[in-house]
Amino acid sequence: MDSYTVRMASAPRHNGKKDRPVEIRVEKLRKAFHGRPVLQGVDLEVRQGDIVAIVGGSGAGKTVLLDHMVGLLTPDAGRVMVADHSRRGAPLVELAKLDAEEFDRVRTHWALVFQKNALLSGTVFQNIALWLREHTKLSSVEIFERAREALDSVGFKGDDSIMNKRRGELSGGMAKRVAVARAIAMRPRIIFYDEPTTGLDPQNAGKIHELICSTHDAAWEAGGTQTTVIITHDKDLLHRLKPRIVMLFEGRVFFDGSYDEFEKSDSEIIRPYFELMPMLHRVPAAQPEGE
């Protein structure tokens, strides 16, 4: 293991169980933009059922790493391996080597909640139903029921009007919950969250904290597994979820361990960042290349 990385012991929840299959494996990942290196040899393994928060200062490469993990970017060197749940035993496949059809098959088992939600201009129901129509064999009645179930689970139970609300009628907190409902309606194996609480007031951010936690744990309670990967500066979210923390610094994994160990660390790299997190979270900025 790279001696540069601070490797810590046991993570909470279901994290770090070596007997569970690997969901994502990042190996020696490198990426540069216009000659400026952003990722400089990232090694990371996420197992099925993990809840992992990827943190780090501005320009550390968090979003670039996420974009590689979901196949939006191709590595300059190294590789990203993901479990192909469409095949028996969910073998690991290298994203960069998949053709378009193979990639579509793999990504049907993922969901991504964007920082700005990325809702379509139509109704809430249309936002949830579109993917289900294109990628499943569900009937119209089944799609409606799936959408209603997802909305109920994110706090809209009993709200009969929500299905027909348009994007412009939703508050920031409502739009975020709809984005999460759209994600869980897919019944994905992995949910990726990109800065899920940035720009929300504390009350709505708290609701999203609970929603991420309950969505992750609900899969376990149902006898399955869900893997959760979060890009965030939200210290309150980390404190509430107590996930495994992966901190990027200078393009590599500097810390990989539990939230408690991260919080207590006196590292000259971790401590200043930890104290700065509330300010980084409070002021959303345009992301430069490498963020």
Please give the C-alpha separations between residue 257 and each of 29, 59, 102, 254, 265, in angstroms, as whole numbers.
20, 21, 33, 10, 11
For residue 31, what pLDDT is reported? 97
- In DSSP terms, which residues pair with 22 in a beta bridge? 47
Q: How far out from the chain centre does Cα 187 lie?
A: 14
With residues binned 3-state (H G I as helix, E B as strand, rest as coil), the percentages for the chain, rounded to 5, are 40, 25, 35
| pLDDT at position 50 over 70 | yes
Domain positions in the chain are 6-121+188-282
Q: Comparing 132-136, 219-223, 234-238, which segment has the lowest mean pLDDT? A: 219-223
Helix (H, G, I), strand (E, B) or coil at 72: coil
pLDDT at position 222: 64
Q: Tell whether the model's pLDDT for residue 177 goes beyond 60.
A: yes
How does pLDDT run across 179-207, given as a tens digit for each residue?
A: 888 988 988 999 999 888 877 778 878 88
Q: What is the pTM of this model?
A: 0.86
For residue range 52-78, what is the model confidence (pLDDT) as tens digits? 999 999 888 999 999 999 999 999 999
Determine the pLDDT at residue 284. 53
Check whether 3 has a pLDDT greater than 50. Answer: no
Query: 6-121+188-282 has which CATH code?
Result: 3.40.50.300
Which band of pLDDT confidence, cut at 50, 70 and 90, is reported for residue 174? Answer: confident
Sign, Cα dihedral of 45, 196, 111, 48: positive
pLDDT of residue 200: 77
Q: Which distant-in-sequence residues (6+ apart) come within 8 Å of 149 by Cβ?
A: 185
pLDDT of 18 strictly over 80: no
Confidence of residue 14 (pLDDT cuts 50, 70, 90): low
pLDDT tens per residue across span 121-173:
889 999 999 989 988 889 999 999 999 998 988 888 888 899 999 998 998 88
At 183, list the tokens: 């994600």
Model pLDDT for residues 73-131, shown as the tens digit of each residue: 999 999 999 999 989 999 999 999 999 999 999 998 999 888 777 887 889 999 999 98
Q: In the chain, which ranges are E strands?
A: 6-7, 22-33, 36-47, 51-55, 77-83, 92-94, 110-113, 190-194, 227-231, 244-249, 252-258
| 7, pLDDT greater than 50 | no
Structure tokens at 157: 């139970």
Whether 227 and 17 have beta carbons less than 8 Å apart is answered as no
Higher pLDDT, 148 or 290: 148
Q: What is the mean pLDDT of residues 240-247?
A: 94
What pLDDT was estimated at residue 223? 63
In angstroms, what is the C-alpha Rg of the chain?
19
The whole-angstrom separation of Cα 141 and Cα 56 is: 44
Average pLDDT of the residues in 247-272: 95
